[in-house]
Amino acid sequence: MTLTITIANQKGGVGKTTTAVTLAHGLVRKGKRVLLVDLDPQGQCATILGLKPEPGAFNLLVSEQPLGQVIRATDRENLFVVLGDRKTAVAQTVLNVQRSPISFTQNKICIPAARDSIDYVILDTSPSVGELQEQALWAADGVLIPCAVDYLASDGVFNIAITLKRIHDELKWKGRILGILPTFYDSVTRESKATLQDLQKRFGSLLLPPIHRATVLRECAVEGKTIFELDPSSRAAEQYDQLVGFVKSWEK
Ligand SMILES: Nc1ncnc2c1ncn2[C@@H]1O[C@H](COP(=O)(O)OP(=O)(O)OP(=O)(O)O)[C@@H](O)[C@H]1O
Ligand SMILES: [Mg+2]
């Protein structure tokens, strides 16, 4: 069975892409076949993997090319990607005006991925709202919400939760929130600790163990490597490995 995980938060810079790429590579290292799809015009999944952005998502969603034509193998065995670039913004606009069914993105990506024996589809989304984001959420079996532990952290989470409730009630979404992932956690600052406690109070068991602020994660994008390649013995690698374990336990 193929599981689709969508990484979402309308707030920018909270660690969505870092989480999407690291989770995808982490699952691959545990023997899974994973397809990572970049649905953000910034095309940063490519950067972290040391690849060049290309209009894969646009060609899939607008030019009607089948998944088989836009999917790329990477030099990490069993990690496959559909990359994005600026043209994904055109796809966002087209989907906003086109009134395509909510299942459009799922049909384009997840159904053919399942035929291709992919274990996990990971959808990285952009920090905005619109039809493409909504279709990506609707396609998810589980939604993972990275959330930077700073001022007003819970606002972004609430916004996604409201959208999810609406697509559940009105469009019969069958997935669930996999978890809320606190990121940029700094155990030294009082603000970080207080925000984490506040998130815990509001979201209870949905809150996952935090990922600390780590300069090495920033270096990953510069080097074109995941944390498991750049510094596998770092605390960041260990914390993301825990997340991979959590996601794998959810499989059963
Ligand atoms: N835990 C962390 N500690 C320090 N830096 C981090 C951490 N997680 C991500 N970063 C860095 O912060 C920046 C933003 O992260 P990322 O691109 O993953 O966020 P995003 O939510 O995808 O952003 P956007 O909303 O623009 O798509 C990047 O430079 C990334 O390398
Ligand atoms: Mg991003």
Domain parsing of the chain, residue ranges: 3-177
Ligand lying closest to the C-alpha of residue 217: 1
Q: Decide: 6 and 110 in contact? Cβ < 8 Å.
A: no
CA-nearest residue, atom 2 of ligand 1:
213
54 backbone dihedrals φ, ψ, rounded to 5°? -150, 160
| Confidence (pLDDT) at 153 | 82
Nearest-CA residue for ligand 1 atom 3 is 213
Between the alpha carbon of residue 210 and those of residues 93, 109, 138, 185, the distances in Å are: 34, 30, 26, 6
Kindly indicate the confidence band of residue 99, based on its pLDDT and cuts at 50, 70 and 90. Answer: confident
The pLDDT assigned to 250 comes to: 83
Residue 215 Cα: closest atom of ligand 1: 4
CATH architecture of 3-177: 3-Layer(aba) Sandwich (3.40)
Average pLDDT, the chain: 95
**Closest-lying ligand 1 atom to the alpha carbon of residue 183:** 1
Instruction: Give the per-residue pLDDT at 155.
Output: 86
Q: pLDDT tens digit string along 183-239?
A: 999 989 898 999 999 999 999 999 999 999 999 999 999 999 999 999 999 999 999
pLDDT of amino acid 150: 86
Between 24 and 154, the more confident residue is 24
Instruction: Decide if pLDDT at 148 tops 80.
Output: yes
Chain segment 9-56, per-residue pLDDT in tens: 999 999 999 999 999 999 999 999 999 999 999 999 999 999 999 999
Please give the Cα distance from 236 to 233 (Å, whole number): 8
Instruction: For residue 173, give both structure tokens.
Output: 């979404």
Grade residue 154 by pLDDT with cuts at 50, 70 and 90: confident
Measured from CB, residues less than 6 Å from any atom of ligand 1 are: 12-18, 40, 42, 44, 126-127, 183-184, 211, 213-214, 217-218, 221
Assess whether pLDDT exceeds 80 at residue 98: yes
Longest dimension (CA), the chain: 50
For a pLDDT cut of 70, what percent of the chain falls above it?
A: 100
Tens of pLDDT along 79-91? 999 999 999 999 9
Nearest atom in ligand 1 to the alpha carbon of residue 184 is 1
Q: Please give the average per-residue pLDDT across 140-152, as a whole number.
A: 93
pLDDT higher than 80, residue 151: no
Ligand 1, residues 11, 18, 243: which to mutate, most atoms within 8 A of Cβ?
A: 18
Our mutation pick for probing the ligand 1 site, out of 217, 219, 225, 242, counting the most ligand atoms within 8 A of Cβ, is 217
How far is it, in rounded angstroms, from Cα 25 to Cα 45? Answer: 12
- What does the pLDDT read at residue 252? 64
From the list 88, 87, 67, 22, the residue with the least C-alpha distance to 49 is: 22
DSSP conformation class of 4: E
Categorize the per-residue pLDDT at 251 as very low, low, confident or very high, splitting at 50, 70 and 90. confident
* Å from CA of 20 to ligand 1 middle: 11
